[in-house]
Amino acid sequence: DKYQLKIDQFFKKM
Amino acid sequence: MFEAKLIQGAILKKILDAIKDLVNEASWDCSSQGMSLQAMDTSHVSLVAVQMKADGFDKYRCDRSVTLGMNLSSLSKILKCAGNDDTITLKAPDDGDKITLVFEAKNESETSEYEVKLMNLDSEYLGIPDTPYSVNVKMPSHKFQRICRDLQQIGDAVTISCAKDSIRFAAKGDLGSGTVNLCQTASADKPEDSVSISMQEPIIQSFALKYLNHFAKATPLSPQVSLSLSPDVPLVVEYSITDDDGSDFGYIRYYLAPKIDE
């Protein structure tokens, strides 16, 4: 689904 | 040695019911503070974070921090073997490769013991900033569950908009469209039935209903659910976990990345 954003775009890896 | 005893074992059963279909494998981080888990679904669209505070357990011992990686559907299958009124004790020795679950029936002499294999998981831990949100809504969890279920009949996505003192859930699809509008309730006679809306700025954002329906599996944990939204950031859906006495035990928070306009 090209309209769905991913959650790891928003939160940084620790 | 890690050992955690929960007289109301049903809470743990409900927590697993609320996460097992979203996340296959995850690690429980156990420390003197309590047990916590953070995991993304396989498509990396949503993230679930669970916290169970040490003082919410009836007995809690964690000599040193341990990470218990496991298959959640296996854990859930084992927890199905516990009765709703059972006391559940989790035990894991330091450096062991399995966790032991002991179920004790109330007022009976029966105890059962199960073991679940632990796994070494390559977990990615994401840092979630503690930011203020434009809109915070608290509403009955069963109402949220019903709205998500009903609107999934209409379409795959829900558009949530908030203006003044009402929140609107809308879906459209091939068969037509549907909207549910909720207004803030005035009375606090029954706090669990109330809708409260706090808005800094109006918002409109779309989310996949498939995930919201997964999140709604946490409904049995709490009579109220809290939704937090800001423009262009993930939605937060939070269920607080309380025991029968109403004491705060922790939470399940789900984060869902928005959909962009088609």
Q: Are B5 and B59 spatial neighbours (Cβ–Cβ below 8 Å)?
A: yes
* Cα–Cα dist B161/B198, whole Å: 13
Using the predicted structure, report yes or no on whether residue A13 has a pLDDT greater than 90: no
pLDDT 10s digits, B120-148: 998 788 999 989 999 999 999 999 999 99
Q: Which residues of B touch A11 (CB under 8 A)?
A: 47, 126-129, 234, 255
pLDDT for the residue numbered A2: 87
Nearest CA in chain B to A8: B44
pLDDT for the residue numbered B69: 96
Q: Under 8 Å CB-to-CB from B189, ≥6 apart: which residues? A: none
Of A4, A5, A13, nearest to B124 by CB-CB distance is A13
Q: Give the ranges where B38-192 is alpha helix by DSSP (H).
A: 72-79, 141-152
* Cα–Cα dist B172/B261, whole Å: 13
CA distances from B173 to B178, B232, B240 (A): 9, 24, 33
Interface test with B, best of A2, A5, A12 (most B CBs within 10 A): A5
Q: Are B34 and B52 spatial neighbours (Cβ–Cβ below 8 Å)?
A: yes
In chain B, at which residue ranges do the beta strands (DSSP E only) sit?
2-6, 25-31, 34-40, 46-53, 59-62, 66-71, 87-92, 98-104, 111-117, 126-127, 135-140, 157-163, 166-173, 176-183, 196-199, 203-208, 224-229, 235-242, 248-256
SS3 category, B4: strand
Q: Which residues of A touch B128 (CB under 8 A)?
A: 11
* Cα–Cα dist B141/B252, whole Å: 13
pLDDT for the residue numbered A14: 82
Tens-level pLDDT at each residue, chain B (262 residues): 999 999 999 999 999 999 999 999 999 999 999 999 999 999 999 999 999 999 999 999 999 999 999 999 999 999 999 999 999 999 998 888 999 999 999 887 899 999 999 999 987 889 999 899 999 999 999 999 999 999 999 999 999 999 888 999 999 999 999 999 999 997 667 888 999 999 999 999 999 999 999 999 999 999 999 999 999 999 999 999 998 888 899 999 999 999 998 7
Name the packing angle between helices B72-79 and B10-19 (round to 10°): 150
* Cα–Cα dist B203/B216, whole Å: 22
pLDDT for the residue numbered B244: 83
**Residue B198, beta-bridge partner list:** B136
* Cα–Cα dist A12/B39, whole Å: 14
Of A8, A12, A14, nearest to B40 by CB-CB distance is A8
Task: For residue B134, count CB atoms less than 10 angstroms from its CB and return exposed for 0-12, middle for 13-18, buried for 19 or more.
Answer: middle
- Nearest alpha carbon to residue B203 among B147, B131, B135: B135
Contact B257 A6 (CB under 8 A): yes
* Cα–Cα dist B19/B220, whole Å: 13
- This model of the complex carries an ipTM of 0.96
* Cα–Cα dist B177/B64, whole Å: 54
End-to-end Cα distance, chain B: 52
pLDDT for the residue numbered B189: 78
